[in-house]
Structure 1
Amino acid sequence: MAQLELQNVSLSFGEKQILDSVNLHVNQGEFVTILGPSGSGKSTLFHLIGGLLQPEKGSILLDQNKITGERGHISYMPQSASLLPWRTVLQNVILGQELTGVKDTAAARQMLQKAGLAGYENAYPHELSGGMKQRAAFIRALLSPQSVICLDEPFSALDELTRLEMQKWLLSIWQEHQKTILFVTHNIDEALFLSDRIVVLSQKPARVLREFEVPFPRPRSEEILLTPEFLEVKKEVYYTLKQGASMS
């Protein structure tokens, strides 16, 4: 487990400012979601955390150690499953371990079984449904040695029912392993259902508008989505998000 922190992070591409003094933190074992308008720079934050981009100002710390511009400290799962088509499911999920020279195929097989992918270890990505591919991609992230996982809208391409099933599955796996997760979405229901905290960003240049502590106890079931309490918090998040979308 690990603590991740961004301190006054700013970034521009040419004359266009993307991020403006963004501060956020994710505590050990916490599930934090970044919520913002489309194009607000949510994915750019992940590229900065992963060391693919360098901020103009500010610092990124992991366990109080500065990792600004450094790669290899986080496990990253993009919107598409990004499984290698020439590798089997088992070979895909142990890829992160292979890169560090430590393979645990027994643990990988156990995780695949828990994910409902038993019997598909030797299948190739084109033989899987969208939900199965996402499960395999998340297991790959979970089995990687890094203690922080960044998930970039991993369920956005799935239909509503499959998406909800994947959210419930993700919660069950995360609660078992308690890794530190930073999640990006523009779906308010998803953010509230999954998270401990929600960080709402404005439109570009992105600033942190507000943080919400999600008040619902764990474990959570889908019934919570239709309760008056859930809808009340959703309304508050929605109006904050709407405010952020109108800023320039």
Structure 2
Amino acid sequence: MSELVVKQVTKSFANKKVLDDVSFTIKEGEFVSLLGPSGSGKSTLFHLIGGLYRPDTGTFYLDGERINGKRGAISYTPQSPSLFPWRTIIDNVVLGAEIFAKPDVDQARAMLKKAGLADYEDAYPHHLSGGMRQRVAFVRSLLSPQSFICLDEPFSALDEFTRLEMQKWLLSIWEENRKSVLFVTHNIEEAIYLSDRIIILSNNPATVKREIQVPFERPRQEALLLTDEFLQWKRDIYQELRVF
């Protein structure tokens, strides 16, 4: 388990401020979604957490350790699955673990089975559908030794029904592992359905506009999406995002 603290982070590119005094905390085992308009700096924040960029000011702490500019501290799943086409599915999912130590292939096979991919471990990425490749990417994140996962709009390219199936699958797998997750999405419904808490960013330069504690108990069922309370939360957040 891991706790991430983002403290007073600012970042500019070409003299344009993208993030302005952003602060929040992701607790151990918490699933938090980051919601905001396009171009509000959500992906930039992920790149900073992952050590690809350094903040102009401010600090990132993971379990109390300062990780500014440190790569490899978190597991990161980008918008596209980013699987190596020359590696089999089993070889792709053990890649993160392989970098740090000898991977547990039996554990990897068990995770692929839970993901419904047991028959594809010796296949190559081009043999799989988009949803299946996303499952492989998430299994790879779970098998990586880092206990904090950043997911950057992993379902954005999927159709509505495949997306819902992936959301349900993600929750079922995450419930068993409970790694800390920061999830970027533009989809309000997705953020409510998946998350313990939602952090809403303002437009550029991004600041934390509001934090919402999602009131629904876990495990969550698909029927929740059509309840009056869920739809009211969706309307409230929609109005919040419209006012910038």
- TM-score (ref. length: structure 1): 0.97
Unmatched 5+ stretches in structure 2? none
- Partner of residue 177, structure 1: 177
Whole-Å separation in 2 of the counterparts to 1:212 and 1:236: 11
SS in 1 for 2:68: coil
Counterpart of 1:94 in structure 2: which amino acid?
V
Cα-to-partner distance string for 1:74-112 (whole Å, 9 max, x where unaligned): 000000000000000000000001100221000000000
Whole-Å separation in 1 of the counterparts to 2:213 and 2:34: 13
- Partner of residue 95, structure 2: 95
Task: Give the drift of 1:119.
Answer: 1.1
SS in 2 for 1:59: strand
Task: Give the drift of 1:242.
Answer: 1.1
Task: Give the drift of 1:133.
Answer: 0.2
SS in 1 for 2:242: helix
Whole-Å separation in 2 of the counterparts to 1:183 and 1:77: 10
- Partner of residue 148, structure 2: 148
- Partner of residue 36, structure 1: 36
Residues 1-248 of structure 1 aligned to structure 2 (within 5 Å): 1-243=1-243, 246=244
Whole-Å separation in 2 of the counterparts to 1:176 and 1:101: 23
Task: Give the drift of 1:162.
Answer: 0.3
Task: Give the drift of 1:69.
Answer: 1.1
Whole-Å separation in 2 of the counterparts to 1:212 and 1:124: 41
Counterpart of 1:81 in structure 2: which amino acid?
P
SS in 2 for 1:21: strand
Task: Give the drift of 1:236.
Answer: 1.2
Whole-Å separation in 1 of the counterparts to 2:169 and 2:7: 32
Whole-Å separation in 2 of the counterparts to 1:72 and 1:191: 26
SS in 2 for 1:119: helix
Task: Give the drift of 1:241.
Answer: 1.1
Whole-Å separation in 1 of the counterparts to 2:102 and 2:39: 38
Counterpart of 1:168 in structure 2: which amino acid?
K
SS in 1 for 2:134: helix
SS in 1 for 2:20: strand
Counterpart of 2:164 in structure 1: which amino acid?
L
Q: Matched residue pairs, number?
A: 244
SS in 1 for 2:118: coil
| Runs of 4+ in structure 1 over 3 Å off | none
Unmatched 5+ stretches in structure 1? none
Task: Give the drift of 1:45.
Answer: 0.4
SS in 1 for 2:2: coil
Whole-Å separation in 2 of the counterparts to 1:242 and 1:209: 12
SS in 2 for 1:83: coil
